[in-house]
Amino acid sequence: MKYGLVVIGASLGGLNSLRGVLSALPGTFRLPVAIVQHRSSDADDTLQFLLQKECARLVREVEDKEAIIPGKIYLAPGGYHLMVEEDHFALSTEAAVNHAQPSIDLLFKTAAEHFGPRVIGVVLTGTGTDGALGLAEIEHGGGVALIESRQTAFAQEMPAAAIEATRHAIELKLEEIGPYLVKLDREQEAG
Amino acid sequence: METIELPLLLEAMVQRYGYDFRDYAPASLKRRVHLAMQREQGVHTISAYQDRVLHDPETMARFLDVVSVDVTAMFRDPAFYKALRDKVVPAWRELPLLRVWHAGCATGEEVYSMAIMLHEEELLDKARLYATDINQRLLEQGKGRIFAIKKMKDYTNNYQKAGGKSVFSDYYTARHDDVILRAFLGKNIVWAEHNLVSDSSFNEFHMVLCRNVMIYFNRKLQDRVHRLIYDSLPVGGVLGLGHGESLQLTPYENCYEVVDRAVKLFRKIR
Ligand SMILES: C[S@@+](CC[C@H](N)C(=O)[O-])C[C@H]1O[C@@H](n2cnc3c(N)ncnc32)[C@H](O)[C@@H]1O
């Protein structure tokens, strides 16, 4: 299999961008998707609910050591960091990393470590620089690096930092990201 | 290199000090080891770190501080305490004596939250709260009842959302940058070092809270700890896990019924 996992990171303005991406994924989309959206530590399922409304696939908050299964959309729960550990996820309550919890960098780095060239990383709108280092590691490992274009991002700082940190990352407008992921998912089928 | 060095370091820790981290979850453990190394002067490889750990117990003590991710808060996940108060506490009224075990309690914020709730429900006098952790230093800190004043805003907020019946600031006195909790909240707490990896069950409890501790363990060790908890609960006893944790896929899944799925409260039924 060419790809094994999509990881997405978003901060300020993320709800809108995430909805944009997820609503473009059909029910037949097979790659598992793991999402980190910066949020308060309140354990509250509003975000999951809002995303599920837009998405044909099942969206769920990750439980510790949950297996990574095709076709599922996984969301980092509030108050935890989300990491990839071999074929499953692991949670941690350690302090904020680069001012962020959940940390996009942590998810991306651990995804790169275990999936190498089989991971697709997407940095969406946001303030701060979280995600930039992680996306660079994904690129370094031979994975695909995508960034929301500053034309559509509500907050440009995070996409700008990701552009800065990477070499060949592809900048896409919000409405292009979902279809691009679908294309990669289909390539997978063909290959 | 790391795949050779890390197991050797962990092996050295068991042999020399009896602390066994071999079945901790690797993603987090690796981060903690690197963090611990960064805090040591002149240590650049895991092997060099191992050398220092072996010869210097202070280095081991510092490692314990780093590996115990001691992040905690009073009334963390207010919904958990709310559900506890509404769905579990009523059954405790009939008991002559109430025993609760907080396994992996860090600096005790969770234990004091329980004490406050039990006080408000007029159950504190007959309660024994067992507060245990692998890290003695954290327990000493908890015993002191002193917490940073800057956290009180969040805690007050949590307390109110958790269904607190009084005024949170009545439970502490401020002094400089700290607050000290009122003494009566600590008098029924028993603090004890207990390692979930190597120690056994030491009593039977009406409730065990083990929240955000097992996320640092791999599945095998989680199963062991679930066994320990199962053995420490009578039928009808209650288990509280962290928001991101679950009983699913553990061998004990079928031994519990759900009291509240969202906040991870379970009751032993067999
Ligand atoms: C993140 S804290 C959880 C604190 C609290 N239960 C809460 O949820 O807020 C994790 C705690 O587990 C403790 N711990 C780690 N390994 C342990 C072990 N083998 N036995 C007992 N406690 C352990 C750590 O020292 C740390 O204090």
In this complex, which of A43, A84, A90 lies closest to B77 when CB atoms are compared? A43
Query: Does pLDDT of A191 surpass 70?
Result: no
Query: What pLDDT is recorded for position A190?
Result: 65
Q: Is the CB of B135 under 6 A from ligand 1?
A: yes
What residues form DSSP beta bridges with A85?
A88
Count each helix (H run) and each strand (E run) in chain B, helices first: 9, 10
Query: What pLDDT is recorded for position A169?
Result: 98
- The string of pLDDT tens digits covering residues A32-56 is 999 999 988 776 788 999 999 999 9
Task: Answer with the residue of higher pLDDT: B17 or A95.
Answer: B17
**What does the DSSP 8-state code read for residue A116?**
G
CA dihedral A68, A74, A76, A78 (to 10 degrees): -130
Average predicted confidence (pLDDT) for chain A: 95
CA distance B228 to B209: 12
CA dihedral B173, B175, B179, B183 (to 10 degrees): -50
Query: What pLDDT is recorded for position B111?
Result: 98
Q: Is the CB of B222 under 6 A from ligand 1?
A: no
Query: What pLDDT is recorded for position B2?
Result: 85
Stretch A51-64: mean pLDDT, rounded? 95
Ligand 1 atom at minimum distance from B24 CA = 16
Domains of chain A: 5-190 (3.40.50.180)
Ligand 1 centroid, distance to A115 Cα (angstroms): 30
Ligand 1 centroid, distance to A38 Cα (angstroms): 24
Stretch A140-167: mean pLDDT, rounded? 98
**What does the DSSP 8-state code read for residue A129?**
S
Ligand 1 atom at minimum distance from B109 CA = 9
Q: Catalytic residues of A, which ones?
A: 11, 38, 130
In order along its 270 residues, chain B shows pLDDT tens digits of 788 999 999 999 999 999 999 999 999 999 999 999 999 999 999 999 999 999 999 999 999 999 999 999 999 999 999 999 999 999 999 999 999 999 999 999 999 999 999 999 999 999 999 999 999 999 999 999 999 999 999 999 999 999 999 999 999 999 999 999 999 999 999 999 999 999 999 999 999 999 999 999 999 999 999 999 999 999 999 999 999 999 998 999 999 999 999 999 999 999
Q: Give the residue range(s) of CATH 3.40.50.150 domains in chain B.
A: 78-268
Query: What pLDDT is recorded for position B38?
Result: 95
- Whole-structure pTM value: 0.95
Query: What pLDDT is recorded for position B1?
Result: 78
Query: Does pLDDT of A188 surpass 90?
Result: no
Q: Is the CB of B158 under 6 A from ligand 1?
A: no
Of B29, B35, B68, the residue nearest B49 (C-alpha): B35
Q: Which CATH architecture has domain B78-268?
A: 3-Layer(aba) Sandwich (3.40)
Three-class SS of B137-191: HHHHHHHCCEEEHHHHHHHHHHHHHCCCCCCHHHHEEEECCEEEECHHHCCCEEE
